[in-house]
Structure 1
Amino acid sequence: MIQTLSLGGDLTVHRVGFGAMRLPRNSFTGPARDPETGRAVLRRAVELGVDHIDTADFYRSGGEGAVRANTLIREALHPYADGLTIATKVGPVFGPEGPLGEAAPAQLRAQVETNLENLGLDRLDLVYLRIGSSLEVPHGDSLAERFEALAALREEGLIRHLGISNVDTAHLAQARAIAPVAAVQNHFNPVDRAATELHAACADAGIAFVPFGSLGMGMTDVSSAAIEKVAARHGATVHQIALAWALSLSPVTLVIPGTGSTEHLEENVAAGSLTLTDEDLADLG
């Protein structure tokens, strides 16, 4: 299996990255985690060779003394090692009680600047425009004005590469007509394959496809009789097979499993060494 891919043509990263959503708390509504645990997970991820961290400024716990993923990343890893790529997302607007909607084009600069400040960076490696406020792709919605605003920030030098998230193939075509798209991030796992057409479009264009929810995000059980059968064959866990399945689909796939546990982190990273056979893939369908 090809172990690395190129983001935007100039950022080479391993195909098993790390998603920071679960660092502040286990879900968008759960209690805050111990910040020191989050910092320990981040340091261990880098020790294991992870060189791509996916985050967002809205990954945070609630209430007084909120724990922010971006703050944990800066505290644990700054000054950042050469070759570490940090990707973030803008677009959603969150209040104390949850999502409030989406940022207007003019509001995106402030979101980008907040990510820069909290991460301790002068330029963001990769910024996704995340559209919609749920896992439902907003088919038919235009992202043009918002993506144009981010493209302008890229021209200013605040952003290195652009991506889009929670989109369909029409959104991808719309974005590519405005500026280069380095990566696409959509919900995708063995039991939710709605983004299959989008994944194929990314593969054809050489654009990184970054599935979120590869392990179900605590909301979906990605297990099945077929996955359990393949897992037993490899002496692996169901989650490792789910990740290996995603990686097997195309060399443009980059997975970003998130966790607040070093044990689960090590399990996830080890999935990058699994090679599924033709028999395995036939079983998984």
Structure 2
Amino acid sequence: MSATVRIGDLAVARLGFGAMRLTGRLPFGEGPDRDTAIAVVRRAVEAGCQLLDTADAYSLGLNEELLAEALHPFPDGVVVATKVGHCRPGDGAWVPLGRPEYLKQQAHLCLMRLRLDSLPLLQLHRIDPRVPLADQAGALRELVEQGLVERVGLSQVTVEQLEEFRQVVPVVSVQNRYNLSDRDDEELVDHCEQEGIAFLPWRPLWLSEDDEPRLRAVATRLGVTAAQVSLAWLLQRSPVMLPIPGTASPEHLEENLAARDLVLDEEALAQLRPDSV
């Protein structure tokens, strides 16, 4: 199993870091103290996490600012992936917002908060059903042509939407919800593998109550944690898989990092299949 996955022309370590929890759900809830948050993300990079995932909507931009405070100038090899096109207007709800002028405005704000001249990877957080898909793709293409964005990714898309975007702008990554208990996007994972597109599963550790007993049985037999089994399963699922588990806990970070060295045997993989009993 390769230790890296390609994001376009880049090769990065196959376990990334999701930064959302570093600022909690502000302004809708408290996050960890700032010193702990900074220490966690610095440790993640020190331990070999090269892909850092954030978004303009995470704590109204504070998440991006924290990453810059902790790491700027970003070490060589570190890829900051941010997202635009999803906003939280005040009641905590997520609302797609894909008007081209808004996407371009937010990209400029991301650059300012991250203290970068260009964004290594800009992902469309959600497709806005009220805006023609070609207009949203065209805005991202313009940002690439202007040198403000180096690579483009998408989030929560179908195979058909991905291919429609690729008619307008190259797409190097897809970030959809995918884990042991939510495998609705199997076709999309296989398609990304076929096309050489990195797949970043968000909420990689989520588990249904029905699946929890067999996962814990596997973890107990192997002498590891359930979270480590979940991440190891993802890494073995496809060579383009790039999980981005997030945490604000130094202990949980180390637990997640240890999953890189775990290889599930055939018995474990059989137990984790959806049709197993």
TM-score (norm 1): 0.90
The answer for the alignment partner of 1:64 in structure 2 is: none
In 2, Cα distance between the equivalents of 1:234 and 1:27?
Answer: 38
The answer for the alignment partner of 1:84 in structure 2 is: 78
Q: Is the 8 A contact 1:13 1:51 kept in 2?
A: yes
The answer for the alignment partner of 2:66 in structure 1 is: 72
CA pair 39-255 structure 1, distance change in 2 beyond 3 A? same
The answer for the alignment partner of 1:183 in structure 2 is: 173
In 2, Cα distance between the equivalents of 1:142 and 1:163?
Answer: 18
1:172 matched to 2:162: yes
CA pair 201-157 structure 1, distance change in 2 beyond 3 A? same
The answer for the alignment partner of 2:48 in structure 1 is: 49
Deviation at 1:273, TM superposition (A): 1.1
1:226 matched to 2:214: yes
In 2, Cα distance between the equivalents of 1:185 and 1:128?
Answer: 8
Q: Is the 8 A contact 2:42 2:70 kept in 1?
A: yes
Q: Helix, strand or coil: the match of 1:144?
A: helix
Q: Deviations over 1:24-56 (max 9, x none)?
A: 016884323211111111111111111110001
Deviation at 1:95, TM superposition (A): 2.5
Deviation at 1:58, TM superposition (A): 1.1
The answer for the alignment partner of 1:94 in structure 2 is: 88
The answer for the alignment partner of 2:135 in structure 1 is: 145
Count of residues paired in the alignment: 272
Q: Deviations over 1:66-119 (max 9, x none)?
A: x81111101110111111111011101223333344131121111101111101
CA pair 173-240 structure 1, distance change in 2 beyond 3 A? same
CA pair 221-177 structure 1, distance change in 2 beyond 3 A? farther
In 2, Cα distance between the equivalents of 1:142 and 1:251?
Answer: 33
TM-score (norm 2): 0.92
In 2, Cα distance between the equivalents of 1:141 and 1:238?
Answer: 41
**Which is richer in strand?**
1
In 1, Cα distance between the equivalents of 2:132 and 2:201?
Answer: 22
Q: Deviations over 1:241-269 (max 9, x none)?
A: 11111111110000000001111111111
1:148 counterpart letter in structure 2: G
The answer for the alignment partner of 1:194 in structure 2 is: 184
Deviates more, 1:275-284 or 1:98-107: 98-107
Q: Is the 8 A contact 2:25 2:59 kept in 1?
A: no
Q: Is the 8 A contact 2:100 2:135 kept in 1?
A: yes
2:42 counterpart letter in structure 1: R
In 2, Cα distance between the equivalents of 1:178 and 1:196?
Answer: 25
1:128 matched to 2:133: no
Q: Helix, strand or coil: the match of 1:173?
A: helix
CA RMSD of aligned residues (A): 2.1
Deviation at 1:159, TM superposition (A): 0.6
In 2, Cα distance between the equivalents of 1:273 and 1:266?
Answer: 12
1:51 counterpart letter in structure 2: Q
CA pair 5-16 structure 1, distance change in 2 beyond 3 A? same
Deviation at 1:221, TM superposition (A): 5.7
In 1, Cα distance between the equivalents of 2:209 and 2:22?
Answer: 21
Which consecutive residues of structure 2, in runs of 5 or more, have no partner in the other structure? none
Deviates more, 1:95-104 or 1:229-238: 95-104
- Matched residues, percent identical? 43
1:154 matched to 2:148: no
Deviation at 1:222, TM superposition (A): 8.6
Which consecutive residues of structure 1, in runs of 5 or more, have no partner in the other structure? 62-66
The answer for the alignment partner of 1:274 in structure 2 is: 262
2:215 counterpart letter in structure 1: I
In 1, Cα distance between the equivalents of 2:62 and 2:86?
Answer: 16
| Aligned pairs (5 A) from 1:17-36 | 17-25=16-24, 29-36=28-35
2:159 counterpart letter in structure 1: T
CA pair 227-142 structure 1, distance change in 2 beyond 3 A? farther
